[in-house]
Structure 1
Amino acid sequence: MQERKSPFQQLDFTLLFFLFVLMCISLVAIYSAATSEQYNVPASYFVQRQILWFAVGTVLLISAMVIDYEAFKKLSIPLYAVSMMLLIATHLFGIEVNGAQRWIGVPGLFTFQPSEFVKIFIIISMAHLLFVITRHPRPKTFTSDVIVVGKILGVGMPPFAFILIQPDLGTALVILSIIFIMILMAGVTFRMIGLLITIGLTGIASLVWLHNNAFAIFTQIIRPHQLSRIYAWLDPSANVGAEGYQLYHAIQGIGAGQLYGSGFGQGVKSQSGVIPELHTDFIFTVIAEEFGFIGATILMVVYFLLLYRMVLIAFTCNNTFGTYIVAGVVGLLVFQVFQNVGMTIGVVPITGLALPFISYGGSALVTNMLAIGLVLNVNIRTKHYMFGEEE
């Protein structure tokens, strides 16, 4: 027997609550960051614009819930085609900022980063691909795994390559994380997963060998500014005057926060203006310095609970297409949180990824809100049965 509930009754208000908490944390952190000496505008300027982006994101979140996600099966190929056209247009006509060509401008109106929306389109396209692949039982053989992985890579690698040459390593790695999650969801054997990990580690080892033995070839693969960031990550104190400047001061600021923090608007590093991009890529530094280990832990707990709710939605969904969509969104957000927090504390190299729902910005924020809308869409259309699933 099916339990009849209206879509409003099935709306996950707990998930929305955690999203609202992140919004509040974002506005507080951005206001504090905006009082830094590096900005010449009122602190309210960034807060007001962030509220506007949250409003736009909320509209997109609601819009993503209106259309039955089943309809996205028919739209997956057109969305993928739009993704590739946007990336090609960015490559040919994009606006170059700080040596990276990632933006497309609408004259007199606004600019946006197509690769942010491509992430959502790729999730939908891969979810449909996996739905088709797993609709019928397949033999658990290595050959079958190779075919499945080949199809997933065939969809994911073209946008990955276009984003990588912009260059935008951070977003390219996000695409890779989505690809990896989808490969796991495809149910491939541990032998295939081990092979893919081995290939990845071999690639990294090859780059290290080229760096030490064939540097001219290495520089054709890793650009000078990317290499500088790697050097800065490995030894920030030795590169304070170059790429390590931002990371060195960020780590000092986070350490100065200790257990309770220095207090709202009282961070020495945060308020002195020595950390560039404080309100965007390095917003976690503000939270950790001014609210301490306790404040940073609360933020991470909220993230965990938000993602946990999504995992529950994926598990309770009795439609594999919906499950794959939610899994893709979880992979998207988990990697971005790990990468952003990791780069501010020196665990991973700096890539310029925003902290989801916290960092100031437009394209990344509304894209993540759109992703949440897809998850809620899946949840409100999941049928619940008292005695198992419908045959």
Structure 2
Amino acid sequence: MENINNRIRSVFDKIDYLLLFCMILLFIISLFAIYSASGQYSADPTFFLIRQTVWFCIGLVAMFFILFLEYEHYRALAIPMYIAGVLSLLFVDLFGVSNKGSQRWIAIGGIEIQPSEFVKLILIIMLATAVYKITEKYKTTSKRDLYILISIFILSIIPFYFIFAQPDLGTALVTIAIAATILLVSGISFTYILLIGLAVILFLLLLTWLFIYQPDIFNMLFKEHQLTRIYGWLQPEFYAGSFGYQLSGARLGIGSGGLFGNGFQNGFIAQSGRVPEIHTDFIFTVIGEEFGFLGASVLLLIYFVLIYRMIIIAINCKDRFGMYIIAGVIGLFTFQIFQNIGMTIGMMPITGLTLPFISYGGSSLLTSMIAVGVVLNVHIHTKEYMFGDKQP
């Protein structure tokens, strides 16, 4: 019993409390935003609030258990978890619950779970494991770089395909962001990174050319649900009465917030129902309209501190495997924050992507909290070596 108490004390002594505080602060902000946005969806404005709080408590329990399993054991679990994750996506494809043109959920006991949310974290652990093992086995730079590229591509393309087919463009793009971030810190040759970057730019230019000059071919690349969002993003004024209705309302609401906002529950756009799914994908509209530029800036500042602490933990990590994991989590959060806020103000295409810790959604919140738990785990169990790093 004494050993258990000592271990618990040791874990809590090493926790990065600033990172944990940022997460809790974001959740508190989300409660205000979700409560304010709930009136248009339910006669009981506390309905979503209570459910989100329950998921947060579940997330805290999950984080607590994660902290006591040293992250080095993740390598042994990576392949079984990856297989289970891919099978869950296949199950969604065959038997999943459909809603508003997408088939992304599994119904379990009256609760809808979105497996793709958890697959993001599984992919991070799988890619980190693969890159770590390759760097340990192959010391020749050219062979090592080639194997890293092939492994990351194959391991990422499988979940990307299933998620993109749901269709869920936002989460599919997150898998690319995760893979790209881990690739950047893998130590791969800059030449490969430059070539991949040029390939991405050429691909985007090709899509732009097809959109302008070959719209029929462009439309064949995406499903109808995705096309409506793309056209609503590129031409929101033209499609303000249909595809661009959501974006037009969001931009109007955020713009009307001004410097100080219109006040809690006083946002006309947020309270009128002019922005569908405002409590999930477009929750930033509530913050921008009701708390203004200052409120939005505070939110971004908290996110900045959250990511900054993760970067510091990654830099101080003495183990490459732990660094790869944290890099993947940083890529996940950074892309989701940028994409969600960007799509709300019209800078990025509209995708069904939540704002971490803020948007309503059990699967999203639980995944984000587990991701933070994994980062804290790496921080807590990072070992100090007398002669420097563990690896040469």
Report the TM range for the smaller structure's normalisation.
over 0.9
Q: How many Å separate the matches in 2 of 1:115 and 1:290?
A: 32
Q: Match of 2:218, as an amino acid?
A: F
Q: How many Å separate the matches in 2 of 1:288 and 1:262?
A: 9
So what's the TM-score if we normalise by structure 2? Answer: 0.93
Deviations 1:281-340 (A, max 9, x none): 111011111111100000000000011111111111111111111111111111110010
Number of the residue aligned with 1:274? 274
Shift of 1:150: 1.2
Q: How many Å separate the matches in 1 of 2:177 and 2:15?
A: 28
Shift of 1:145: 2.9
Number of the residue aligned with 2:29? 25
Asked if 1:199 corresponds to 2:203, the answer is no
Q: Is the Cα contact below 8 Å between 2:253 and 2:268 reproduced in 1? A: yes
Q: Match of 2:197, as an amino acid?
A: I
Shift of 1:194: 1.6
Number of the residue aligned with 1:135? 136
Q: Structure 2: 5+ residue runs without aligned partners?
A: 1-6
Shift of 1:52: 0.6
Shift of 1:137: 6.1
Q: Match of 2:208, as an amino acid?
A: V
Q: How many Å separate the matches in 2 of 1:120 and 1:91?
A: 20
The verdict on how the C-alpha distance between 1:219 and 1:134 changes in structure 2, with shifts beyond 3 A counting, is same
Number of the residue aligned with 2:4? none
Number of the residue aligned with 1:289? 289
SS across alignment from 2:176: helix
The verdict on how the C-alpha distance between 1:110 and 1:385 changes in structure 2, with shifts beyond 3 A counting, is same
Number of the residue aligned with 2:159? 159
> Which sits farther off after the overlay, 203-212 or 358-367?
203-212
Number of the residue aligned with 1:66? 68
SS across alignment from 1:357: coil
> Which sits farther off after the overlay, 264-273 or 247-256?
264-273
Of residues 80, 86, 90 in structure 2, which corresponds to 1:84? 86
Deviations 1:196-230 (A, max 9, x none): 12212222233333344544433321223322222
Aligned length: 384
Q: How many Å separate the matches in 1 of 2:96 and 2:38?
A: 29
Q: Match of 2:70, as an amino acid?
A: D
Q: How many Å separate the matches in 2 of 1:200 and 1:290?
A: 38
Q: How many Å separate the matches in 2 of 1:211 and 1:199?
A: 18
Deviations 1:30-69 (A, max 9, x none): 111123xx22322111111111111111111112212111
Q: How many Å separate the matches in 2 of 1:386 and 1:129?
A: 27
Q: How many Å separate the matches in 2 of 1:98 and 1:123?
A: 29
Q: How many Å separate the matches in 1 of 2:323 and 2:346?
A: 34
Asked if 1:115 corresponds to 2:119, the answer is no
Number of the residue aligned with 1:16? 20
Q: How many Å separate the matches in 2 of 1:313 and 1:29?
A: 30
% identical equivalent positions: 48
